C-alpha cells in the first residue's frame, strides 16, 4: 500500500526517486517492488538487519536529490505529500519539515491512543524549544546536505524508538530549524492489540533512555517536562469521541506512560555502561 500511494503522488515522476531498504527481512521484496518499477524510479537495497536508523542512512546515502523525505512501510502518503513539502522548502530550504500523520485505523482504540499521544507530544514540545521538539521519521523531510552534515540517524539506536528524536535534537543543536508542515499528510496503518500496545510503549521508553543518555553525553541539560504535561494528558480525547470509548483512550494514555517508564528503567538496568543519570522523561 505504501508503494501504491507513492505511485499515485501528484508530483512529476522525473523529479523524485523512491528507495526501498529491506533491512534483513526473511523474504525478498523483489516481487513486491517489481510491480511498481514501470510507475516509479525505484531502487531496492537489501542489507543485513541493522535497525531502522541504519536502514534510513543506507537509503539516504543512495539518494541523489536535494531533499530527503522519509516514510515507513505501514504508511500511505497523501497524493499531494511531496507538493506539501516542496512549498515550505521554497522559503525555508534549510529547515527540517515534519508532516501530519493520521491514524488510518480509527476503530482500533490502541492505534487511536498511540496517535493521539504523538499529536499531544508534538503540540507540547512545540510550545518551547527547551522541551525537545521533534518529528517522527515516518513523515519527515529535510535537505540532504544538512542531513549528512548533521550525521544522519544514529545507528546505535537499534529499534524504531527515539532515533528520530535524537536526530532532531542534533539538528537543533547545530542551529538548524524545525518546521511543522501539516498539509503533508501520511495515513498510518499500525494495528495494535493490548499486548503489542504495551510492547510498543515499553520500546519507546527504552529509546527514551538512549535519547537522554546521548544528550547527557553531549553535555546537554535535562529537558524540562512540567507536571502539567501529565495532568493535561489525562484530558486528551480523540476528536468526536465521548463516553466509555473516550475514557478507555484516557486509560490507555496513562498505561502508555507506565509502559514508557518500565522501558526506560529496563534499558537503564541493561545498559552496558551502567547508564547516565538522567531524569525519567516523556
pLDDT at 240 (0 to 100): 62
Where the chain has pLDDT below 70, the residues are: 129, 239-242, 272-282
* DSSP per-residue letters across 33-67: HHTTTTTS-EEEEEE----HHHHHHHHHHH--SSE
pLDDT at 282 (0 to 100): 53
Pick the closest to residue 85 from 103, 94, 98, 76 (CA basis): 98
Give φ, ψ of 61 to 5 degrees: -65, -30
The cell 552496558 sits on which residue?
272
Q: What order of strands is seen across the sheet that includes strand 96-103?
A: 67-70, 140-143, 96-103, 178-188, 75-77
Other C-beta atoms lying within 10 Å of the C-beta of residue 8? 14
pTM for the model stands at 0.90
pLDDT digits (tens, 9 = 90+) for 188-219: 999 999 999 999 999 999 999 999 999 999 88
Please tell me what DSSP assigns to residue 26. S
Pick the closest to residue 161 from 277, 244, 282 (CA basis): 282
Q: What residues does each domain of the chain span? A: 2-270
pLDDT digits (tens, 9 = 90+) for 144-184: 999 999 999 999 998 889 999 999 999 999 999 999 999 99
C-alpha to C-alpha distances, 18 to 33, 40, 105, 118, nearest whole angstrom: 11, 7, 25, 26
For residue 185, the SS3 value is strand
pLDDT at 277 (0 to 100): 46
pLDDT at 227 (0 to 100): 78
pLDDT at 242 (0 to 100): 65
Q: Which CATH architecture has domain 2-270?
A: Alpha-Beta Complex (3.90)
pLDDT at 258 (0 to 100): 96
Angle between helices 109-126 and 243-270 in degrees, nearest 10: 70
Amino acid at each position: 500500500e505504501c508503494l501504491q500511494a507513492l505511485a499515485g503522488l501528484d508530483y512529476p515522476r522525473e523529479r523524485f526517486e523512491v528507495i526501498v531498504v529491506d533491512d534483513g527481512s526473511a523474504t525478498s521484496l523483489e516481487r513486491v517492488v517489481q510491480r511498481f518499477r514501470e510507475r516509479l524510479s525505484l531502487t531496492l537495497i537489501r542489507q543485513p538487519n541493522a535497525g531502522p536508523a541504519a536502514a534510513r542512512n543506507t537509503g539516504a546515502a543512495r539518494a541523489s536529490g536535494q531533499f530527503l523525505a522519509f516514510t515507513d512501510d505501514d504508511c500511505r502518503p497523501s497524493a499531494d505529500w511531496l507538493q506539501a513539502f516542496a512549498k515550505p522548502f521554497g522559503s525555508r530550504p534549510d529547515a527540517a519539515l515534519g508532516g501530519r500523520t493520521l491514524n488510518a485505523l480509527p476503530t482500533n482504540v490502541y492505534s487511536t491512543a498511540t496517535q493521539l499521544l504523538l499529536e499531544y507530544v508534538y503540540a507540547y514540545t512545540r510550545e518551547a524549544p527547551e522541551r525537545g521538539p521533534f518529528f517522527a521519521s515516518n513523515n519527515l523531510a529535510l535537505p540532504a546536505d544538512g542531513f549528512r552534515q548533521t550525521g544522519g540517524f544514529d545507528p546505535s539506536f537499534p529499534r524504531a524508538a527515539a532515533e528520530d528524536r535524537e536526530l532532531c535534537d542534533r539538528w537543533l543543536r547545530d542551529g538548524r530549524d524545525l518546521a511543522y508542515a501539516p498539509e503533508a499528510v501520511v495515513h498510518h496503518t499500525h494495528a495494535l492489540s493490548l499486548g503489542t500496545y504495551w510492547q510498543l510503549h515499553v520500546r519507546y521508553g527504552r529509546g527514551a533512555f538512549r535519547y537522554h543518555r546521548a544528550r547527557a553525553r553531549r553535555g546537554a541539560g535535562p529537558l524540562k517536562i512540567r507536571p502539567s504535561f501529565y495532568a493535561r494528558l489525562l484530558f486528551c480525547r480523540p476528536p468526536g469521541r465521548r463516553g466509555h470509548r473516550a475514557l478507555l483512550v484516557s486509560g490507555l494514555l496513562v498505561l502508555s506512560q507506565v509502559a514508557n517508564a518500565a522501558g526506560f528503567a529496563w534499558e537503564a538496568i541493561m545498559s552496558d555502561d551502567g547508564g547516565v543519570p538522567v531524569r525519567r522523561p516523556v
